[in-house]
């Protein structure tokens, strides 16, 4: 496009900012506003590679959908450029976005420069806060990299530019089959683009991978393509290149995990893991007009006047100032697809000669965060607790406050606490690389588990005696778990408890048990990479990772004396083996994926055991560990589950 050309009799092209396979980006002036100098804006020009009518139709739908998305995001967040206009001329598509004065953070992340952990955390906070609004709307950016992260001059905040899915318009083409349309290349940047995105299936967690790689580049001073990968897992090997705490390293490892289900799901989840909170979006003082359609398919809002571009601005600065630099308006929506903290205050942005090497170390204090609105009232009382996480040496690297809704049953002089477990999806089984795993824990598969309630502890001897009238346990103690219970005995207990309470109680399905045990973790134990005898009752003279040998209690202990998992459940590792409802199968081929018990096929005389016990080695206490025993065997305990729904027919 020639300099001086005027689009829509309004936007005068004054400079070319960049061009490539995905489109062209220009700096323009808005001639409609009666001010001098004229306000700057950025124009993105896109056109499909193919002129086929079918391709143009798809491009039009994509263009309209994503322009609306960008408009909404720009209104909801001051860290995403505003969309001023979108229009089509023939087979050409144009977007006009807000001009952002500043520089991209590639100027800060210079090759070979290892930046501090404090700087990296502040950088991650800034990126994630910008990304949160998009993820809350199920929008994937798809091209997060240093060049698309602007440090705004006015407030030093990170501004997220170049939403990658806009580039789809430029790479649409006809497929081999008549009437079909496809993409010629994957959208994203190698090194920051995870494998599922390369295969055309981006997720919200694909953005988390890219943000994690930015953090790793900050700590190591190395570009992603210069970091090796583990030949077995495909995960990035980087820790040896950085000086970093285990806590941050563990968070980054999870962010860039090769297998996307094991990453944090979205930007909010990472902020929570970092112990950071985000302020609500800043209200805009003068919102632009709402998107509307006309015969010319043009949406226009007046950009705010900007100071005149100074002569010493570099081309790179101008290029990155535009919200569309490098191509970008689409933010792929997950639900409908056509193809089924505060950064350093003193980093200079005034001219191209500034050197940022020394400034990233200076972190300004965080801005005050307004108090969030009160959470909705819970149906059941809230209990609080503390969870811990350990590293491979068994050393505590973090502790967090948790809370859970707990329903309490009172009967025959005892109480039974049932923890509400929210519905969710998880990856059941263990990877081949997990130490101590067996083939019976494969293949890994996703399970969607509906909401349910589970016993906060294994059933105690006092609870058993209140229902059954006896105590078969070998290791006596009212608050110790009941043991020497057969599978038939356990199911009889559930039936009688249902009659007493009027609610349906049962043994957990195997998938309910593992989902509850993992509590949204993916490590071998819900405490992390290993356990110690300070965290669970098992044969502590055995070791799992690099932790020292511990104690061997030689008997059961009172329930609840060890830390819980993040769902608020206790003793899921060790103390007493626990019955599940399921029939034994030697692997997961054909297993249910809806959270229900697997009671067909297999050997009905053998039932599932989970959790390990006081005399088991640590490897048998893993989240994925499973075994079986005959239904009449007496050396086992259990915990109960319930839907929480009253079933009056059980009343006696």
pLDDT along the chain (652 residues), means of 10: 90 83 81 91 81 73 82 90 90 89 92 94 95 90 92 92 61 43 60 90 93 97 93 90 93 92 90 73 40 37 41 38 35 32 34 38 43 63 94 93 94 95 95 93 95 97 97 95 95 96 95 97 96 96 94 94 97 97 96 96 92 94 94 86 60 34
Question: Quick check: is 579 in a domain?
Answer: yes
Q: What is the CATH number of the domain that holds 201?
A: 1.10.510.10
**Does some domain include residue 304?**
yes
Q: Helical H runs in 256-300?
A: 267-273
Residue 356 placed within a domain: no
Same domain, 216 and 278: yes
Domain span at residue 18? 6-283+293-337
Beta bridge partners of 93: 46, 88
Radius of gyration of the chain (CA): 29
Residue 370's pLDDT is 52
Number of structural domains, the chain? 2
Whether residue 505 is preceded by a cis peptide bond, meaning omega within 30 degrees of 0, is no
Task: Give the 3-state secondary structure of residue 498.
Answer: helix
Quote the tokens at residue 191.
């090194």
Task: State in Å, rounded, how far the first CA of the chain is from the last one.
Answer: 83
**Does 516 share its domain with 435?**
yes
Q: Are 332 and 406 members of one domain?
A: no
Do both 329 and 467 map to the same domain?
no
In the set 24, 30, 104, 143, the catalytic residue is 143
Residue 511, domain member (yes or no): yes
- Tell whether 406 and 333 lie within a shared domain: no
> In this structure, what DSSP letter does residue 397 have?
E
- Whether 15 is in a domain gets the answer yes
Q: Are residues 474 and 326 in the same domain?
A: no
- Give the pLDDT confidence score for residue 591 in this predicted structure: 96
Note whether residue 167 is domain-resident.
yes
Say yes or no: 202 and 65 in one domain.
Answer: yes
Q: What is the sign, positive or negative, of the torsion defined by CA atoms of 458, 460, 461, 463?
A: negative
In-domain check, residue 206? yes
Distance CA 235, CA 253 (A): 8
Examine residue 347 and state whether it is found in any structural domain, yes or no: no
Main-chain dihedrals φ then ψ at residue 215, nearest 5 degrees: -60, -40
Shared domain for 387 and 329, answered yes or no, is no
Between CA 623 and CA 122 the distance in angstroms is: 34
Clarify whether 539 is annotated catalytic: no
CA distance 218 to 221: 6
pLDDT at 649: 34
In three-state secondary structure terms, 196 is helix
Count the helix, strand and coil residues of the chain and give each as a percent rounded to the nearest 5. 25, 25, 50
CB-based contacts of 359, cutoff 8 Å, min separation 6:
108, 344, 346, 347, 348
Please report, for the domain that includes residue 578, its CATH number.
3.90.1580.10
* Residues 321 and 389 both lie in one domain: no
Tokens 């110690």, residue located: 532
- Burial class of residue 285 (count of CB atoms within 10 Å of its CB; 0-12, 13-18, 19+): exposed
Q: How far apart are CA 564 and CA 247, in angstroms?
A: 19
Tokens of 494: 């559930």
Are 391 and 333 members of one domain? no
CA separation for the pair 186, 197 (Å, rounded): 7
**Residue-level pLDDT at 106:** 93
In this structure, are 327 and 459 located in the same domain?
no
Verify that 279 and 395 share a domain, yes or no.
no
């Amino acid at each position: 496009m020639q300099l001086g050309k005027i689009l829509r009799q309004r936007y005068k092209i004054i400079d070319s900012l960049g061009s490539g396979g995905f489109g062209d980006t220009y700096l323009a002036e808005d001639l409609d506003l009666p001010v001098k100098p004229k306000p700057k804006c950025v124009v993105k020009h896109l056109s499909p590679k193919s002129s086929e009518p079918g391709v143009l139709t798809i491009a039009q739908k994509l263009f309209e959908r994503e322009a609306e998305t960008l408009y909404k995001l720009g209104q909801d967040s001051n860290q995403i450029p505003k969309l001023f206009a979108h229009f089509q001329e023939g087979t050409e598509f144009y977007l006009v976005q807000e001009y952002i004065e500043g520089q991209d953070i590639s100027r800060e992340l210079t090759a070979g420069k290892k930046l501090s952990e404090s700087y990296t955390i502040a950088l991650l906070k800034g990126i994630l806060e910008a990304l949160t609004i998009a993820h809350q709307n199920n929008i994937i950016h798809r091209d997060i990299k240093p060049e698309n992260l602007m440090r705004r001059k006015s407030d030093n905040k990170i501004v997220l530019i170049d939403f990658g899915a806009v580039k789809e318009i430029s790479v649409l083409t006809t497929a081999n089959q008549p009437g079909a349309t496809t993409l010629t290349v994957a959208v994203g940047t190698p090194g920051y683009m995870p494998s599922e995105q390369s295969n055309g299936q981006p997720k919200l967690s694909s953005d988390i991978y890219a943000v994690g790689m930015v953090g790793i580049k900050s700590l190591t001073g190395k570009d992603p393509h210069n970091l090796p990968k583990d030949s077995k897992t495909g995960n990035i090997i980087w820790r040896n290149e950085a000086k970093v705490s285990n806590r941050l390293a563990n968070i980054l490892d999870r962010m860039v995990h090769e297998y996307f289900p094991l990453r944090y799901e979205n930007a909010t989840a990472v902020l929570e893991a970092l112990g950071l909170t985000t302020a609500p979006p800043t209200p805009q003082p003068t919102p632009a007009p709402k998107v509307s359609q006309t015969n010319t398919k043009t949406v226009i809002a007046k950009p705010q006047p900007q100071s005149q571009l100074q002569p010493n601005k570099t081309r790179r600065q101008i290029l990155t100032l535009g919200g569309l630099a490098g191509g970008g308006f689409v933010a792929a929506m997950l639900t409908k697809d056509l193809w089924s903290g505060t950064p350093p205050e003193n980093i200079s942005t005034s001219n191209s000669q500034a050197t940022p090497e020394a400034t990233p170390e200076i972190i300004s204090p965080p801005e005050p965060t307004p108090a969030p609105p009160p959470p909705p009232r819970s149906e059941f009382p809230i209990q609080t607790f503390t969870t811990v996480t350990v590293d491979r040496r068994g050393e505590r690297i973090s502790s967090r406050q948790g809370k859970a809704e707990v329903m309490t049953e009172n009967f025959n002089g005892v109480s039974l606490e049932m923890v509400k477990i929210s519905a969710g999806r998880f990856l059941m089984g263990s990877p081949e690389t997990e130490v101590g795993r067996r083939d019976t824990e494969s293949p890994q598969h996703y399970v969607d588990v509906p909401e349910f309630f589970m016993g906060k502890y294994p059933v105690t001897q006092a609870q058993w005696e209140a229902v059954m009238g006896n105590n078969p346990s070998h290791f006596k103690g009212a608050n110790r778990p009941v043991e020497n219970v057969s599978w038939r005995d356990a199911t009889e207990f559930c039936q009688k408890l249902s009659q007493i309470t009027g609610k349906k109680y049962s043994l957990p399905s195997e998938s309910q048990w593992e989902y509850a045990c993992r509590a949204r973790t993916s490590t071998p134990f819900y405490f992390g990479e290993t356990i110690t005898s300070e965290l669970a009752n098992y044969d502590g003279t055995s070791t799992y990772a690099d932790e020292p040998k511990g104690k061997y209690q030689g008997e059961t202990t009172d329930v609840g004396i060890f830390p819980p998992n993040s769902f608020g459940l206790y003793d899921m590792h060790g103390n007493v083996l626990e019955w599940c409802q399921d029939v034994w199968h030697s692997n997961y081929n054909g297993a249910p994926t809806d959270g229900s018990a697997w009671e067909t096929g297999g050997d009905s005389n053998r039932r599932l055991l989970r959790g390990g016990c006081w005399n088991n080695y640590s490897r048998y206490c893993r989240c994925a560990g499973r075994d079986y025993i005959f239904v009449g065997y007496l050396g086992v305990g259990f915990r109960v589950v319930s839907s929480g729904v009253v079933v009056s027919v059980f009343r006696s």
